[in-house]
Amino acid sequence: MTRLLGVAFVVVVALAARNAAAADAALIEAAKKEGQVVWYTTLVVNQIVRPLKDAFEKKYPGITLQYTRADDLVTAAKILAEGQAGRMQADVLDSISGMFALQEAGLLAPFTVPNSADYPAELKAKDGYWTAVIMYVFTPGINTTLLPKDQAPKTFADLLDPKLKGKMAWNGSSMAGAFGFVANILTTMGEDKGMDYLRALARQQVVNVDASSRAVLDQVIAGEYWINLMAFNHHTVISARKGAPCDWLKIEPAPVTLDAVGLMKDAPHPHAARLLLEFLLSEDGQKVFQQNDYLPALPSVPAMVAGLRPNDGGFQADFLRPEEIHRQLPHWQKVTQDLFR
């Protein structure tokens, strides 16, 4: 009897594998008939979109990956306009903060990919409307010449040290800056304690820089400030590899935002769209992100340097999910404007 059960199990597994292979072949064939897929992206074209396009088209010859690049809110607004006009052009999008608004507008469709179970709950929507392709881990980035790491802050309370007054900076109007920092503090400390802390931090005269988080870090490296309070931690690694005097501080919990992908409900090329989503979230696609200095969301694909992500770095994180950003961003913006302008 045991042997018969074992044989039956092997047969079931083989049939499932054969059916999956048949489904994959059918999806690929249908996608090839569509001939192309259109991706609205917020990612940097030269650094990652073109490498992903090359890898996708090499894996699936006959399917062209077209892309349009714009910032997060511009991308969401463009898709909303297309949806209202009934002329959807995009098949797939990626977004940090605009995803939930598009879902509320009824423009997204839930989807799944073969390896969905490999993505932990904090990296995907419960209802299947999005899954993270990469994560952005924000930590203070320091100039190690001006502020040696052994003398640097170890906690958020340490950022209130008087010696740091006027020597810290951030982008003052971005989730990759002041808004994200405020979000993390209010989310993890609670409203009352969080506001007390932020009022104390405001007395430190944090400098608002009208530039990207990457550019703020460059100014820290150049010696204009000691600390970028909201640096992408992997950017400090990239710069340090080139000889820059910089490092990141493991102050917990670190705010983490997610660049997530979604499927348009009225995608003009629905089969090619699903194939692109499968690729971006597969190990093959995630390795392209890794090889081009991004932090892959899939836990089984290592970061460019071990320890940069919460799951392999052993540090606590505050995952700021798209729906939370959508609901709370106006409040975080107001707090920032009231305290840090």
Q: Nearest-CA neighbor of 297 among 126, 96, 135, 120?
A: 135
Cα Dmax for the chain? 76
β-pair type (227-232, 317-320): unpaired
Residue 217 to residue 97: CA distance in whole angstroms: 23
Mean pLDDT of the chain, nearest integer: 93
Find tokens 């100014």 and name the residue. Answer: 219
The pLDDT-based confidence of 320 (bands split at 50, 70, 90) is: very high
The pLDDT-based confidence of 1 (bands split at 50, 70, 90) is: low
- Decide if 260 contacts 42 (C-beta within 8 A): no
Cis peptide, bond prior to residue 253, ω within 30 of zero: yes
- Decide if 93 contacts 79 (C-beta within 8 A): yes
- What's the mean pLDDT in 265-282? 97
Note the pLDDT tens digit of each residue in 34-74. 999 999 999 999 999 999 999 999 999 999 999 999 988 88
Looking at the chain, the whole-number percentage of residues with pLDDT higher than 70 is 93
Find tokens 């940097």 and name the residue. Answer: 44
Residue 186 to residue 178: CA distance in whole angstroms: 12
Domains of the chain: 2-134+258-308 (3.40.190.10), 136-256+313-340 (3.40.190.10)
The pLDDT-based confidence of 341 (bands split at 50, 70, 90) is: confident
- What's the mean pLDDT in 278-289? 98
**For residue 123, how far is the Cα from the chain centroid?**
9
Q: At residue 20, does pLDDT exceed 60?
A: no
Q: At residue 148, does pLDDT exceed 70?
A: yes
pTM across the whole model: 0.89
Q: How far apart are the first and last CA of the chain?
A: 75
- Decide if 53 contacts 290 (C-beta within 8 A): no
Residue 106: strand, helix, or coil: coil
Q: At residue 220, does pLDDT exceed 50?
A: yes
Contacts of 322 (CB under 8 A, 6+ apart): 95, 96, 97, 98, 99, 100, 125, 130, 258, 260
The pLDDT-based confidence of 97 (bands split at 50, 70, 90) is: confident
Phi-psi region of 106 (alpha: psi -120 to 50; beta: other; left: phi over 0): left
pLDDT in the model for residue 3: 52
231 phi and psi angles, rounded to 5 deg? -90, 145
Residue 334 to residue 324: CA distance in whole angstroms: 16
Residue 326 to residue 99: CA distance in whole angstroms: 8
pLDDT in the model for residue 131: 97
The token duo for 55 is 């890898």
Q: How many CB atoms lie within 10 A of CB 151?
A: 10
Residue 189 to residue 201: CA distance in whole angstroms: 14
The pLDDT-based confidence of 17 (bands split at 50, 70, 90) is: very low
The token duo for 200 is 């104390």
